[in-house]
Structure 1
Amino acid sequence: MKQRHTKESLERRASRLEDKIERLSKADPDANHWEIQHCYEEAGRLREWAEHGCLIGNPTSTWRP
């Protein structure tokens, strides 16, 4: 079954990643550097997808503006 993405669901996922970044940064930013970086990048992609309605590299995505 294909997952349906809505603007709101993408924004929620980005917010959860940003919360995770905050927790990791408080715990040990040096030890968690790569995971923090990955979360920043993923949250940015999700926010961009939510804003513009398409995921770069995924033209068959379900979200359309």
Structure 2
Amino acid sequence: LYNEMKAQGFIETEREWNLTQKVFLENHRYHTDFGKTKREEKKQENLAGVINKLQKKKES
């Protein structure tokens, strides 16, 4: 998806990609019990990873 969005001009940098992912993950909600119990934890891990990448780039 990153390569596709970059090729289409929706994003230009990795930082823009990470910001897009952060907003998506923060606003995404699972609607089924399965999603809530089986996928939410991994989504939160992914969100933490994106936030970490953004903070590291900010500090550089």
TM, length-normalised to structure 2: 0.46
Q: Greater helix share, 1 or 2?
A: 2
